[in-house]
Amino acid sequence: IVVMLASPAVMLALLMLNILIIIHLLSVISQNSAGQFFSSGHTNNWAVLVCTSRFWFNYRHVANTLSVYRSVKRLGIPDSHIVLMLADDMACNHRNPKPATVFSHKNMELNVYGDDVEVDYRGYEVTVENFLRVLTGRLPPSTPRSKRLLSDDRSNILIYLTGHGGNGFLKFQDSEEISNVELADAFEQMWQKRRYNELLFIIDTCQGASMYERFYSPNIMALASSQVGEDSLSHQPDLAIGVHLMDRYTFYMLEFLEDIHPASKTNMNDLFKVCPKSQCVSTPGHRTDLFLRDPGSVLITDFFGSVRKVELTMDAINLTDPIKQMEEDPVNGEEQKEVYSYADQLPVSEIIHQKPKQKDWHPPDGFILGLWTLILLVFFKTYGIKHLKHIF
């Protein structure tokens, strides 16, 4: 009744208001590049993807990590900005019925291994020490560029960990653990040296939420697949391969990421809703209190993709000098040209005929000494001390 009573003048005013709002929005969208910078404050993206468990039955952890690797590459982060750590080689494992493949979906629908996977840390190189060294940057000087995390203060970093975990720790290689305090300290050191602008930490293990409890550095957002006291469950086994192929949380997260393309505007609040208890059986958790921006304004592509900011070059410098010709080179070039040849890769004859290497003599260690002392004591106890003079 109220609507019908509204006069044409009021309706016209409303229409004008709508038009004004639309014009304002359009002008906001086509703003200059200085405005474009302030939406996120980052200029490059990095990803550190770690699978911490070995053995064939932990196939799903490798498949998890490789699937996230695929998504991140698809959305634009280049290999030079991804540090991929896989603790075991499932594709070439002798128990793999389909060698050189790692599947993430049953009935072998999706091979996430492909032929352009670049694994930076493989096998036994995936240790707690190496992981912390990568994060804090304290690598020996001989480490090549591809194994380093060369982020700066304008980098957004995605860190994804998967494996077996417990309350407050994550198991590496079935032999050592990283605790949540160590992880929090590593992130604090990264913050002190301004090695990140914003950090997204995703962990898919049992009791994963315990790993982000201790963070205290700013600008970290954390997601975990299960709360303390809950186990993260795997998704589906494949009867031909014989093991479980993926974990539930990562599986549904990947389904969500399949809908993301480099220009999409989906934000983090949607990522928090991925895999509710009905699908995941465990309760995923997240932590945003350390993050400065509102999660609703954080785009998924801020972390998973790599959308570069771009400015148009308006000026050019007028160069008038002609190019200097390099005269001296042809004369010297002939003399300096060396003839290169391939070095003999495997000098077989040398290897076969070489003498065994002289090993340095080491004094016997504690165990041997202890054993001999025990034998001597028993001897003298049994036969008496008078035999001593026969020895010395």
Note whether 250 and 204 are within 8 A (CB).
yes
- Is 146 a binding residue for other proteins by CB under 8 A? The answer is yes
Q: How far is the CB of 139 from other proteins (least distance, A)?
A: 6
- Is 114 a binding residue for other proteins by CB under 8 A? The answer is no
Q: Site size for other proteins, by CB under 8 A?
A: 69
Can you tell me the distance from the alpha carbon of 275 to that of 283, in angstroms, rounded to the nearest whole number? Answer: 8
Torsion angle of the four alpha carbons 112, 117, 123, 128, in this order, in degrees rounded to the nearest 10? -90
Nearer to other proteins, 7 or 32 (CB): 32
- Is 323 a binding residue for other proteins by CB under 8 A? The answer is yes
Residue with tokens 């049992």: 206
- Is 99 a binding residue for other proteins by CB under 8 A? The answer is no
> Could you say which of 26, 319, 352, 391 contacts other proteins (CB under 8 A)?
319
Q: How far is CA 180 from the centre of its chain?
A: 17
Binding to other proteins (CB under 8 A) within 172-201 occurs at 179, 181-182, 184-185, 189, 192-194
Per DSSP, the residues of 114-149 read: -S----SEEGGG--HHHHHHHHHT---TT--GGGS-
- Is 307 a binding residue for other proteins by CB under 8 A? The answer is yes
Binding mask 331-370 for other proteins (x = CB under 8 A): ----------------------------------------
> Could you say which of 115, 315, 334, 350 contacts other proteins (CB under 8 A)?
315
Q: How far is the CB of 164 from other proteins (least distance, A)?
A: 20
Nearer to other proteins, 14 or 181 (CB): 181
Report the DSSP pairing between strands 198-204 and 155-162. Answer: parallel
- Tokens standing for residue 177: 């653990």
Q: How far is CA 94 from the centre of its chain?
A: 26
> Could you say which of 214, 243, 270, 380 contacts other proteins (CB under 8 A)?
214
> Could you say which of 137, 166, 237, 295 contacts other proteins (CB under 8 A)?
137
**Strands, E assignment, 16-110:** 44-51, 82-86
- Is 110 a binding residue for other proteins by CB under 8 A? The answer is no
Query: Furthest-apart CA pair in the chain: how many Å?
Result: 127
Is 164 labeled as catalytic in the residue annotation? yes
Note whether 159 and 69 are within 8 A (CB).
no
Nearer to other proteins, 5 or 323 (CB): 323
Within 8 A by CB and 6+ apart from 119, the residues are 84, 85, 86
Containing 270, the helix (H) or strand (E) segment is: helix 268-272
- Is 35 a binding residue for other proteins by CB under 8 A? The answer is yes
- Is 262 a binding residue for other proteins by CB under 8 A? The answer is yes
Binding to other proteins (CB under 8 A) within 67-86 occurs at 76-80
- Tokens standing for residue 318: 């007028």
- Is 306 a binding residue for other proteins by CB under 8 A? The answer is yes
Nearer to other proteins, 95 or 138 (CB): 138
| Amino acid letter, residue 369 | L
Q: Which of 42, 51, 206, 275 is catalytic?
A: 206
Residue with tokens 């896989």: 86
Quote the Cα angle for 362-368-374, to 5°. Answer: 150
Q: How far is the CB of 302 from other proteins (least distance, A)?
A: 13
Residue with tokens 């070095």: 343
> Looking at the annotation, which residues are catalytic?
164, 206
Interacting residue ranges for other proteins, rule: CB under 8 A: 30, 32-35, 37-38, 41, 43-44, 76-80, 128-129, 132-133, 136-140, 144-146, 148, 150, 152-154, 179, 181-182, 184-185, 189, 192-194, 214, 216-218, 262-263, 292, 306-326
